């Protein structure tokens, strides 16, 4: 108890600037933490090292050779408005750009915009209901045509047309975009909007050229040659693409920022797994950069000892969590399983769901698997810190789980497995194939065994698990299992888009081709009402309180079990200078990357 109070006092000192971050870490080590654990704890509490990009040193464009990046989930398409996953957004981002992106400290940085809209510069009108974007002049597409306001208006028309079937439809369908002049647009929302930085911003905001995609709007959208041969404004021009394998680009000699980019070419290689990707950068130096190193911390440390690269741990709002299926994953209704018209034989019982929360040993998962790359948590929404709920807690307690199950009528049989009404607590627990996740599964299974719950562990190849293929029964969107685990990413420092994952209207189903973001099939009128209010609440304190409540509802209803608040872990050559952020794509500021001599 004394140690906990001492740690809390040190964290408060760091938060309020009474001691330096370095001094606080030194004292936390004295209390028994390792330095990486202390650093990660401070990061989780919002006391992170500055993530402002390093000053750009190159004094000329090009000359840096080839940047070799490794994405162990390979890019499958290069059309940002069809990109249903991070890997495809990243591949597209090499060539296409939005008006603005998020930096590591949650600030908007202009890219194709001349400036970030503010009240002071006349960019924000009517409480965020109307946003005036002024566009950068002198920007050209890779084919030499000028970038203008017409391209922004077209991108809006393209994405909002239901026949286009863009994954960004939800971002653009309720806004109106009009051209003021060649380099100015107005984006109008249907109501005052506190978080207006959605359309034309970050991963979902990439602008596409009207002269390339104009003939393919709507029903012809999938026929466009540009879907596989992009023509953008980005730092690199398209050279070659082999879906799932390799994306190649060459320097854009007419890029709109002086002395950028540094590299003459870029290769984005797909395939393999997280461990082999980490080895290729940290140990052998075969590649300059590796994405998403979801690898045990001890393995990362061993590979870093190779001396070729290091792991970059970037604060984010990403969360590794378990979903409990409250519908029946076996019974088929109207051509789909896990239908909202059905109920799960066990997880429709609140007592069983609560018992499961006591059987997840989060501290062991953090200590023995994640180390400096994750913090145990009871919250779904963890960052920025002001949105983190103080109203939840976690506890690993097999005795409490047993008591709950016993009281609810789930009795142990001769085989040690609990049953009720002739149904045994035998559950299928699925996740993607990843050595780290399989170890997490084993920890959860061990806890469940002690309470008479038998888990069948299922591992699905990541490219299949995260696929949008409607014919595939093993996608996480279909959720044809009793439980599943994965990480969901928070792509903005505002949680509005992140927390839409529990809205009734977002329930994943056959009707929306299992593309709905509410994969739990959770439906709570109070959640829907609170979310709707938060969408237009301009008072910062009130809106923050609403999102804390939105976190608490599914957590306390026990339909999800948050496990680990995850920073983003990337690997980079020791001489590679990046501009990484936990709130946007890895390649969001690719034009700033360079290699030191």
Identify the helix (H) or strand (E) that includes residue 568. strand 560-573
> 188: which strand partners?
130, 176
Instruction: Grade residue 49 by pLDDT with cuts at 50, 70 and 90.
Output: low
Mean pLDDT of the chain: 92
Is the confidence at residue 73, as pLDDT, over 60?
yes
- The per-residue pLDDT for 151 is 98
- E strand or H helix at 446: helix 435-449
Question: Nearest Cα to 437, choosing from 327, 549, 294, 299?
Answer: 294
- Indicate whether 69 pLDDT > 90: yes
Instruction: Determine how β-strand 130-134 pairs with β-strand 411-412.
Output: unpaired
CA–CA gap between residue 360 and residue 507 (Å, rounded): 26
For the residues 176-196, what does the mean pLDDT come to?
A: 95
Listed in sequence order, the residues at least 6 apart from 319 whose beta carbon sits closer than 8 Å to its beta carbon are 377, 379, 380, 381, 382, 487, 488, 490, 562, 563, 564, 565, 566
The pLDDT > 90 percentage for the chain reads 78
Q: Which of 9-18, 52-61, 489-498 has the lowest mean pLDDT?
A: 9-18
Average pLDDT, integer, range 5-22: 62
Tell me the mean pLDDT in the region 563-592.
95
Cα 476–chain centre separation: 15
Lowest mean per-residue pLDDT among 40-44, 83-87, 209-213, 456-460: 40-44
Q: Identify the pLDDT of residue 315.
A: 86
Residue 127 has pLDDT above 80, yes or no: no
At residue 332, the pLDDT reads 95
Q: Which single residue is written with the structure tokens 């140690």?
A: 3
Mode of pairing for the β-strands spanning 265-270 and 66-71? parallel
Measured distance CA(546)–CA(505) in Å, rounded: 19
CB 480, CB 323: distance < 8 Å: no
For residue 284, give the 3-state DSSP assignment: coil
pLDDT at 84: 74
Q: CA-CA distances (angstroms) from residue 550 to 504, 530, 539, 543?
A: 13, 7, 17, 11
Which residue, among 284, 313, 286, has the nearest Cα to 104 in the 3D structure? 313
The per-residue pLDDT for 44 is 55
Q: How far is CA 58 from CA 107, 229, 313, 345, 577, in A?
A: 24, 29, 25, 62, 11
Residue 86 confidence (pLDDT): 87
Phi/psi for 563 (5° steps) reads -115, -60
For the stretch 411-465, pLDDT in tens is: 999 999 999 999 999 999 999 999 899 999 999 999 999 999 999 999 999 889 9
pTM metric for this prediction: 0.76
Beta strands 483-488 and 426-432 are: parallel
pLDDT tops 60 at residue 36: no
The answer to whether the CB of 481 falls within 8 A of the CB of 533 is: no
Owner of token pair 């602008």: 207
pLDDT band at 114 (very low <50, low <70, confident <90, very high): very high
The pLDDT of residue 512 is 87
pLDDT in tens, 514-540: 988 999 999 999 999 999 999 989 888
Cis peptide, bond prior to residue 384, ω within 30 of zero: yes
Enumerate residues 6+ apart whose C-beta is below 8 A from 237: 95, 142, 249, 250, 251, 252
Task: Kindly indicate the confidence band of residue 294, based on its pLDDT and cuts at 50, 70 and 90.
Answer: confident
Q: For residue 201, what is the DSSP state?
A: B
User: Among 112, 145, 114, which residue's Cα sits nearest to residue 231?
Assistant: 145
Q: What is the dihedral of CA 539, 498, 535, 161, to 10 degrees?
A: 150
330 falls in which pLDDT band (50, 70, 90)? very high
Confidence class of residue 368 from pLDDT cuts 50, 70 and 90? very high
CA torsion angle for 548, 551, 556, 558 (degrees, to 10)? Answer: -170
Q: Sorting pLDDT into bands at 50, 70 and 90, what band is 170?
A: confident
Res. 19: pLDDT tops 80: no
CB 534 within 8 A of CB 543: yes
State the pLDDT at residue 33: 61
Q: Which of 6, 187, 13, 212 is nearest to 113 (CA)?
A: 187
Of residues 31 and 74, which shows the higher confidence score? 74
Express each pLDDT in 540-552 by its tens digit: 899 999 999 999 9
* 177 strand-pairing partners: 187
41-55, 341-355, 552-566, range with the lowest pLDDT: 41-55
Report residue 513's pLDDT band, with 50, 70 and 90 as the boundaries.
confident
Residue of 233 and 513 predicted with greater confidence:
233
| Range in 31-40, 113-122, 372-381, 415-424 the model is least confident about | 31-40
How do residues 464-474 score in pLDDT, each as one tens digit? 998 878 899 99
Nearest to 356 by CA among 484, 500, 465: 484
- Other C-beta atoms closer than 10 Å to the C-beta of 468 total 16
Query: Is residue 351 a contact partner of residue 407, using CB atoms and an 8 Å limit?
Result: yes
């Amino acid at each position: 108890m004394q140690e906990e109070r001492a740690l809390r006092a040190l964290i408060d000192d760091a938060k309020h600037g009474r001691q330096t971050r370095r001094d606080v870490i030194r004292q936390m080590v004295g209390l028994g933490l390792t330095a990486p654990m202390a650093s990660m704890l401070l990061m989780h509490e919002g006391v992170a090292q500055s993530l402002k990009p390093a000053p750009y040193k190159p004094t000329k464009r090009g000359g840096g050779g080839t940047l070799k990046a490794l994405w162990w989930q390979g890019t499958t398409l290069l059309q940002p408005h069809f990109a249903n996953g991070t890997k495809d957004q990243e591949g597209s981002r090499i060539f296409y750009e939005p008006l603005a992106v998020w930096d590591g400290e949650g600030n908007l940085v202009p890219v194709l915009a001349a400036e970030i809209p503010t009240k002071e510069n006349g960019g924000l009108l009517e409480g965020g209901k109307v946003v005036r974007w002024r566009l950068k002049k002198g920007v050209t597409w890779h084919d030499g045509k000028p970038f203008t306001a017409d391209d922004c208006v077209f991108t809006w028309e393209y994405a909002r047309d239901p026949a286009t079937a863009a994954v960004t439809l939800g971002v653009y369908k309720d806004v109106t975009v009009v051209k003021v002049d060649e380099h100015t647009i107005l984006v109008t929302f249907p109501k005052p909007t506190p978080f207006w930085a959605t359309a034309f911003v970050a991963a979902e905001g990439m602008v596409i050229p009207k002269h390339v995609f104009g003939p393919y709007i709507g029903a012809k959208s999938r026929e466009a040659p540009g879907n596989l041969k992009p023509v953008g404004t980005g730092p690199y021009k398209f050279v070659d693409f082999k879906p799932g394998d390799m994306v190649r680009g060459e320097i854009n000699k007419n890029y709109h920022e002086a002395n950028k980019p540094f590299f003459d070419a870029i290769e984005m290689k797909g395939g393999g797994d997280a461990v082999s990707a980490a080895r290729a950068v940290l140990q052998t130096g075969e590649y300059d950069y590796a994405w998403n190193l979801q690898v045990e911390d001890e393995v990362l440390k061993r590979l870093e000892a190779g001396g070729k690269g290091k792991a970059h741990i970037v604060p984010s709002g990403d969360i590794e969590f378990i979903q409990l299926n409250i519908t029946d994953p076996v019974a088929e209704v109207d051509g789909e399983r896990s239908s909202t018209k059905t109920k799960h034989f066990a997880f429709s019982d609140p007592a069983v769901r609560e018992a499961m929360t006591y059987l997840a040993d989060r501290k062991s998962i953090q200590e023995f698997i994640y180390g400096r790359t994750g913090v145990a948590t009871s919250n779904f929404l963890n960052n920025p810190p002001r949105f983190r709920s103080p109203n939840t807690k976690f506890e690993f307690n097999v005795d409490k789980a047993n008591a709950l199950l016993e009281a609810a009528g789930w009795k142990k049989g001769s085989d040690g497995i609990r049953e009720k009404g002739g149904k045994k607590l035998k559950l299928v627990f699925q996740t993607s194939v990843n050595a780290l996740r399989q170890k997490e599964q084993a920890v959860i299974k061990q806890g469940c065994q002690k309470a008479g719950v038998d888990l069948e562990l299922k591992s699905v190849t990541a490219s299949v698990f995260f696929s949008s293929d409607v014919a595939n029964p093993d996608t996480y969107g279909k959720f044809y299992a009793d439980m599943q685990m994965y990480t969901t990413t928070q792509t903005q420092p505002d949680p509005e888009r992140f927390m839409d994952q529990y809205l009734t209207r977002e329930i994943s189903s056959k009707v929306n081709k299992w593309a709905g973001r509410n994969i739990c099939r959770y439906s709570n009128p109070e959640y829907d009402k609170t979310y709707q209010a938060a969408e237009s609440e301009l008072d910062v304190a009130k809106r923050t309180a609403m999102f804390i409540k939105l976190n608490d509802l599914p957590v306390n209803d026990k339909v999800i079990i948050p496990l680990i608040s995850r920073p983003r872990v990337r690997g980079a050559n020791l001489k590679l200078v990046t501009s990484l952020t936990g709130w946007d794509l890895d390649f969001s500021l690719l034009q700033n990357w360079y290699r030191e001599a």
